[in-house]
A and B are shown apart, each in its own frame.
Chain A
């Protein structure tokens, strides 16, 4: 049963950066200590608000990468070349800096072990972030809910959490991962080499008869293609949940 009652309304609160982790050349994880944090569910996000000295403000949404079991709140941010906020978060923030955030937000695009499966997770690029929170939550409970991750990245070095995912799946036969690299592949690559399409989904996903819970997250084009294909393959639209990242990943 998804938790629905909040202890009051969401407010802006401050978190402090305690660590910055380079995940890939383009992404960084921000480990935050948020004193007022009351916990969250895997799949939820926060809104981050930046304020310049003259009062100028702008907001963006970022998915929470850490599972509910973690003590600190981790956000994984991809630096967009023409972004206004992401370059500040990946290149400007330093340990000890404070960050204003509001959350956790969203009860619809969430998963808890109790919800069961099988679990079909489909990510494009930084769309992996909320799904990683689900995978980490699952691991924290040593859950054996059958889980398959289909993860599209530009190239090998762009795979966020690559080693952690490899270690988790190596140790757990109920967690399987399929990567597809769309732009460039290492010489020894035997995996998929194209964007996720209906054919790939038919080969990789559970059949609709298994009634998987599907979570699809990433750029809008990928989310729309995948969601439409899953429904076309016969999956129940009510069991396909989507989170489009949109043009800039958030509001404003």
Chain B
């Protein structure tokens, strides 16, 4: 099936078996292997990418459902020569060990911070009609869809917090 997806600012024309997940299209067809396949069932968050600015599990979506969409993967967040602030923060805070979950953590964090900027509530939000304050409890709750098998959670919280000031 013909599908065109704009990935990291570039329109990419694909011809796909409808069964191809967005994750497999990115990794196997476009060779963007930054997005990781952990559980392949939406439980670990390693495949998290931004679609039209919103974070989703790319393993639980068919690529053909994203014809015309704009997808940002970790390769579009920053490059080795030009790291994004959140990538620098993950390095500075030592927010990973093996690194497998990191691309998903970073994409998820970017999506999460945008949600906070838009004042979306979470289950930690006591006052649903007020302005969200990104406490550590809020931050942890909002990142609960990303699992870190090395358990770098305290450093992940610190890294996200260090860039959160600019948006939250």
| A, B in one complex | no
On B, residues with C-beta under 8 Å from A are none
Residues of A that sit less than 8 Å from B by CB = none
